[in-house]
Structure 1
Amino acid sequence: MEIKEIIGIDVSKLTLDCCHHSSGSHKEFDNNLDTIASMVKWSLQVSGVSKKKLLFVFEHTGLYSDQLIQFLGGGDYLFNVVPGLEIKRSLGIARGKDDKADAKRIALYGYRVKDELKPFQIPSKTLEVLKRLMSVRKKLVTQRAGYIATLKEQARILNKQHNKVLFKVQGKMILTLDKQITIVEQEMNQLIEEDPELLDLYRLITSVKGIGGVTARFLIVYTVGFTTFESWRKFASYCGIAPFPYRSGTSIRGRTKVSHLANKEGKSLLSMCAASAIQSNPEMKAYYDRRIDQGKNKMSTLNIIRNKLLARAFAVVQRRTPYVNTMKFAC
């Protein structure tokens, strides 16, 4: 694949600001399906190349970029969806900000890395629905946790007889959120059960002791069925559990630590998996206790276990066989 021209697109709620890198031509389009077709037609005309030599580059903006992704993917156009932070850091210091300037910067970024970019792989409809349901579940769980914490503090301080309505309303909200979370989880499980490939992945991942259903769904969705990350190490970096050195010359000798640039949800889920594995998996418990007895740092040990679990999840998917606990065969 030889990319000749780049179109940078700044995606917002209502508009698409497009910039052709070579000529600097700019045009704004409405962000809807009808005008997206016009945008593609304009891009082909201004670039003067075939669709197989034109690459569209834009930031991931969640719901607002969904129609653009679906249109370009459905028409077999080449495009790449890039994290905004990656574009921002690659271009150095930038002064000022508007949609036209952002489109130009995105086009410049695409031109600089065009030989490295790989065409975006659109997740299946099931994975897209799963991702949205996971987002809704996360919000519901957060709201429920907030009500539970508030109610607990109020019960400690306030007189229940004098605040019956206060306690009653919040109690009902917690019950309602419990019900809605259950409905969302049932729908996600149903979607997985109806897709043989996803069901196979789900069973393989949950065969690793310590990894539960919530984390398994997260891994499936954010790796797009284990197709977008070449190794578990890259996904560990994405989740913020990969340790990196911090040193320079002879004067700076900081401790090796994980980066704050991470998918915080994945990091949190893997932390809970590690804590669960220490409690329920004799192998992990023995490993944890041995390192602690040696005076090793608890968080460092916990992070190693997070990486071990993630590595095992990727391994069972690669082998297509469930995880086997070899410790039980040890003499």
Structure 2
Amino acid sequence: MSKFKHFLGIDVSKEYFDVVLIMNGEKEKPIHNQFVNDSKGVKALNQWLKKQRATNLETLVCLEHTGMYGKLIIKYLMLFNYSLWVEMSLKIIRSMGLQRGKNDKIDAERIAIYAMKNLQDAVIYKAPSKTIEKIRSLMSLREKLILTKSTLMRNSKEIKSLDPELSKLSEKFQKKTLKGITSDLKEIEKQLDVFIKGDENLNKIYSLAISVPGVGKVTTLYLICFTNEFKAYSSPRQLACYAGVVPFEYTSGKSIRSKPRVHHMANKKLKKHLHMCALSAVNHDPEMKEYFKRKVAEGKNKMLVINNIRNKLVHRICACVRDNKTFEVRKAA
């Protein structure tokens, strides 16, 4: 039997957050309030919950993934020892069926009802370590710098084909910027290494995951960050689904007979990096190279085979982390 008797739904925005509390499962009597989205606001929420006699032991708090806007709320509610369920917004929306009308109060109430109805599927949020938070921040900055650098270089090349003189002027003023970005990227790489080596558990997981042929530093760090050190997913298949590398069947009766395909709801960033890892594995791992050649010779679509390799890589990484063993390269049969 669940320990949760009360359910709190939180709808987060930049300046405020609305909350709806359902006491003792009585969804016909929801209690609404609104707070400022800052530390004082979250502390006021805690006091308000105490007045409502919704204790941290008996109350399940549910909110959507909202990036930066929800960070402060999560941080303080965890300090107050509340159990949090941070859910995908699309899951909540689709679970409610056909809905009419929308405002912050209604959204908060729908989130509270979702938590109450789907209590058996609740995944209690576990905060990532400070090291993971720092790595996430650096990885995000690294991605932005790479994008800026590639945009500047592409712009210069495009101008060159149209006006060489203007291109030289553009390159002149971009030179220091590009040099600075390159230097910053190198420093970020060094700092990432410091963070990895400075955390014993993280360093162990990193060493195990990167031992899989084809898997590089960036992909490994993204996997560690997105899975909270491989604690957010209970099975390799679940992680593979999240990464968008598991094909699903699409059939209905006799009329609908579509080929199995991956779902569009996936972590696109992770999927892209796993794709590059698969291509690398085909070139450098004898077993994967032989597998790719064999399947293509059988008439399989090349992209289908690459996707299968992406799936295999996820399973290999998870197996290494689970068994606490580095990957042993096997020769193709």
Task: Please state which band the TM-score falls in when normalised by the shorter chain.
Answer: over 0.9
Partners of 1:97 and 1:202 in 2: how far apart? 44
**What are the Cα deviations for residues 113-161 of structure 1, in whole angstroms up to 9, with x where unaligned?**
123213211111111111121111111112222222222222333224x
Pair 1:105 & 2:106 matched = no
Paired residue for 1:164?
Answer: 168
Partners of 1:154 and 1:281 in 2: how far apart? 41
1:261 counterpart (262, 265, 290): 265
Amino acid across the alignment from 1:302: I
Superposition deviation, residue 244 in structure 1: 0.5
Q: More displaced, 308-317 or 123-132?
A: 123-132
Pair 1:2 & 2:7 matched = no
Q: What's the secondary structure of 1:187's corresponding residue?
A: helix
- Aligned positions, number: 327
Q: Which runs of 5+ in 1 are unaligned?
A: none
State how 1:254-293 maps to structure 2 within 5 Å: 254-293=258-297
Paired residue for 2:12?
Answer: 11
Partners of 1:163 and 1:213 in 2: how far apart? 35
Partners of 2:100 and 2:180 in 1: how far apart? 48
Superposition deviation, residue 163 in structure 1: 4.0
Pair 1:217 & 2:218 matched = no
1:140 counterpart (140, 145, 148): 145
CA change 1:221–1:163 in 2 (3 A) is: closer
TM-score of the superposed pair, with normalisation by structure 2: 0.94
Superposition deviation, residue 79 in structure 1: 1.3
State how 1:79-158 maps to structure 2 within 5 Å: 79-158=84-163
Partners of 2:204 and 2:188 in 1: how far apart? 21
Q: Would you identify which runs of 4 or more consecutive aligned residues in structure 1 move more than 3 Å?
A: none
Q: Is the 8 A contact 1:8 1:103 kept in 2?
A: yes
Amino acid across the alignment from 1:246: Y
Superposition deviation, residue 62 in structure 1: 1.1
**What are the Cα deviations for residues 229-260 of structure 1, in whole angstroms up to 9, with x where unaligned?**
01111111111111100111111000100011
Q: Is the 8 A contact 2:157 2:167 kept in 1?
A: no
Q: Is the 8 A contact 1:7 1:43 kept in 2?
A: no
Q: Is the 8 A contact 1:246 1:254 kept in 2?
A: yes
Superposition deviation, residue 186 in structure 1: 1.8
Q: More displaced, 248-257 or 91-100?
A: 91-100
Superposition deviation, residue 165 in structure 1: 1.9
Q: More displaced, 252-261 or 174-183?
A: 174-183
**What are the Cα deviations for residues 275-294 of structure 1, in whole angstroms up to 9, with x where unaligned?**
11111222211111111111
TM-score of the superposed pair, with normalisation by structure 1: 0.95
Q: Is the 8 A contact 2:9 2:110 kept in 1?
A: yes
Paired residue for 2:302?
Answer: 298
Partners of 1:171 and 1:291 in 2: how far apart? 47
Q: What's the secondary structure of 2:261's corresponding residue?
A: strand
Q: More displaced, 169-178 or 268-277?
A: 169-178
Instruction: Report percent identity of matched pairs.
Output: 36
Paired residue for 1:75?
Answer: 80
Paired residue for 1:33?
Answer: 39
Q: Is the 8 A contact 2:49 2:55 kept in 1?
A: no
Q: What's the secondary structure of 1:65's corresponding residue?
A: helix
Q: Is the 8 A contact 1:240 1:264 kept in 2?
A: yes
Q: More displaced, 224-233 or 87-96?
A: 87-96
Partners of 1:97 and 1:178 in 2: how far apart? 46
Q: Is the 8 A contact 2:6 2:54 kept in 1?
A: yes
Paired residue for 1:55?
Answer: 60
**What are the Cα deviations for residues 12-56 of structure 1, in whole angstroms up to 9, with x where unaligned?**
11111010123211110011112211102212332x343211111
Partners of 1:95 and 1:147 in 2: how far apart? 46
